[in-house]
Amino acid sequence: MAKLLTVVGVLFALHMASSSKLVCHMTNWAQYRPSNAKFTPENIDPFLCTHIIYSLASINSFNQISAIEWNDEQQYSRLQTLKKVNPELQTLLSVGGTVYGVSPFIAMVSTPESRSAFIKSAIRYLRTHSFDGLNLAWEYPAHNGSPEQDRTRFTLLIQELSKAFENEARENRKTQLLLSASVAANLATIDRAYEVENISSHLDFINVLTFDFHGHWEAATGHNSPLYHSSSDFGSYVHHNINSSVSYWLQLGAPAEKLLLGFPTYGRTFRLAGAANGLGAPSTGAADAGPYTRTAGFWSYYEICEFISSATVEWISEQDVPYATYGSAWVGYDDRRSFSSKVQWLTASGLGGAHVWTLDLDDFTGSFCSTGSYPLINHLRMSMGFGPKPTTTPAPTTTRDPLADFCRGRPDGLYENVSDKGSYFQCFQGITYLHRCQPGLVYWDSCKCCNWP
């Protein structure tokens, strides 16, 4: 018998997808943010994502993986305890960054011996700290002081890691470690940095960094993570968007099922130069740093929530993303509506799922945006077709409720509740779930979302 379940909060979704991965990054520097913005592994919902990538570890002068923060190993342990709550959760350690402005990958990949030392170190380190895999975050081979030969050396590193992971699992009768990489979205960078077909076949999944397409380093406003190009784009900028980037990875031979679309939980800000305040308006740098992230040109979603409470919000219909302005400040960001559009796109493209940068930039406590904890990522999860989380509890009933059978025989998806406009049904595997809109909002079946009456 189907069960009628109740969940409180604003939840939005469009078409359900069959993508299997929702990979969420967390950063070890978010622990230093003030007040409610401080983030530690205890803030993670263990059922929110399928994989969590801990950022960031580095590589020392002996070609060994090394921790960066003083308490990284303590944080590893606290992260792994989440698996006791959700045994299906998988964790990866991301390695990258720079040492004195130079990527440690450059020296490490330079010889077979140095790569071998790193690989042995990686296996030992991952097993010691109970990680399920390794994520390579090199920005980028053959760039920023990295010689052209590093394009091929990066391929060799991935091939050698994959083979070593396979051998180690067989010899020790353990589950094989996962191997992923975070890769560029800019077309020119892709051409110079990667032998796409050669690396794709050896990676379990590929995190395409489909954000930072525009930012305060430019002289005009542009969106951080647009789905498509706009009429204000020119020259190579017509390719600074998700559609162009991911399509190019596919064109070069990357399997769609291994590509994960990047979803940012932050926006990029600009300082307007004059009265013009639309897309492509002249700008003179970054808006003021946010009070919690304290980084010029960069606001977390929870900081954006506070900004848009008094700002003017506009939708860029060409690119399926929003921006907001107040005074001379301009921010291009993502919301639940734009996430829904991107989920539709990744579903139509047959991609393997999504990766989120980051957990700690969403409103993880629910104290800023008044829409519950992790409003963006929870919406992304639901939009991708994942079932309700185990924390959902059955509504008490003493007699059979006819609504409990609403989803029997219906396809998975969202449906209006004609008897209560402030709620709606989610059908998942024949089970009926009742979701309630935020007070004052009603469900609109035309957009599969909660909105004002």
Convert the pLDDT of each residue in 100-118 to its tens digit.
999 999 999 999 999 999 9
209 and 155 fall within a common domain: yes
User: What is the per-residue pLDDT across 133-170, written as a single tens digit (0 to 9) for each?
Assistant: 999 999 999 999 999 999 999 999 999 999 999 999 99
* Predicted pLDDT of residue 2: 34
249 and 367 fall within a common domain: yes
Catalytic residue among 139, 160, 195, 257: 139
Q: From CA 170, how far away is CA 162, in angstroms rounded? A: 13
User: What is the per-residue pLDDT across 259-308, written as a single tens digit (0 to 9) for each?
Assistant: 999 999 999 999 999 999 999 999 999 999 999 999 999 999 999 999 99
The last residue of a domain, from among 326, 353, 383: 383
Please give the average per-residue pLDDT across 234-255, as a whole number: 97
Judge whether 314 lies within some domain.
no
Q: Give the N- to C-terminal CA distance of the chain in Å, as an integer.
A: 34
Judge whether 74 lies within some domain.
yes
* Predicted pLDDT of residue 303: 98
399 pLDDT band (50/70/90 cuts)? very low
Q: Which residue has the tokens 């698996």?
A: 83
368 and 433 fall within a common domain: no
* Predicted pLDDT of residue 437: 73
6 and 71 fall within a common domain: no
115 and 188 fall within a common domain: yes
Look at 446 and 392; give whichever has higher pLDDT.
446
The last residue of a domain, from among 321, 352, 383: 383
Judge whether 67 lies within some domain.
yes
Judge whether 310 lies within some domain.
no
Indicate which CATH number applies to the domain containing 424. Answer: 2.170.140.10
Our count of domains for the chain comes to 2
11 and 154 fall within a common domain: no
29 and 4 fall within a common domain: no
DSSP string, 110-137: TSHHHHHHHHHHHHHHHHHTT-SEEEEE
Q: pTM, whole model, 2 decimals?
A: 0.86
173 and 244 fall within a common domain: yes
Please give the average per-residue pLDDT across 386-411, as a whole number: 66
Judge whether 277 lies within some domain.
no
Residue 113 bears catalytic tag: no
Element (H, E) at 23: strand 21-27
4 and 130 fall within a common domain: no
* Predicted pLDDT of residue 211: 98
Indicate which CATH number applies to the domain containing 233. Answer: 3.20.20.80
- For residues 39, 41, 42 and 44, what is the CA-based torsion angle, rounded to 10 degrees? 90
8 and 25 fall within a common domain: no
User: What is the per-residue pLDDT across 347-386, written as a single tens digit (0 to 9) for each?
Assistant: 999 999 999 999 999 999 999 999 999 999 999 999 999 8
User: What is the per-residue pLDDT across 404-430, written as a single tens digit (0 to 9) for each?
Assistant: 778 888 887 778 888 888 888 877 777
* Predicted pLDDT of residue 395: 43
Judge whether 297 lies within some domain.
no
Q: What is the SS3 assignment for 106?
A: helix
* Predicted pLDDT of residue 402: 60
7 and 155 fall within a common domain: no
Buried b vs exposed e over 442-452: b needs ≥16 C-beta within 10 Å? ebbeeebbbee
Which range of residues forms the domain containing residue 412?
A: 1-16+400-453
Judge whether 111 lies within some domain.
yes
- For residues 312, 318, 319 and 321, what is the CA-based torsion angle, rounded to 10 degrees? 30
Contact 379, 339 (CB under 8 A): yes
* Predicted pLDDT of residue 421: 87
Q: From CA 24, how far away is CA 16, in angstroms rounded? A: 19
433 pLDDT band (50/70/90 cuts)? confident
* Predicted pLDDT of residue 14: 31
229 and 359 fall within a common domain: yes
342: which DSSP letter? Answer: H
Contact 275, 316 (CB under 8 A): no
Is the pLDDT at 444 greater than 70? The verdict is yes
* Predicted pLDDT of residue 293: 98
Judge whether 366 lies within some domain.
yes
Q: How far is CA 371 from CA 11, 236, 290, 374, 415, in A?
A: 9, 38, 20, 8, 21
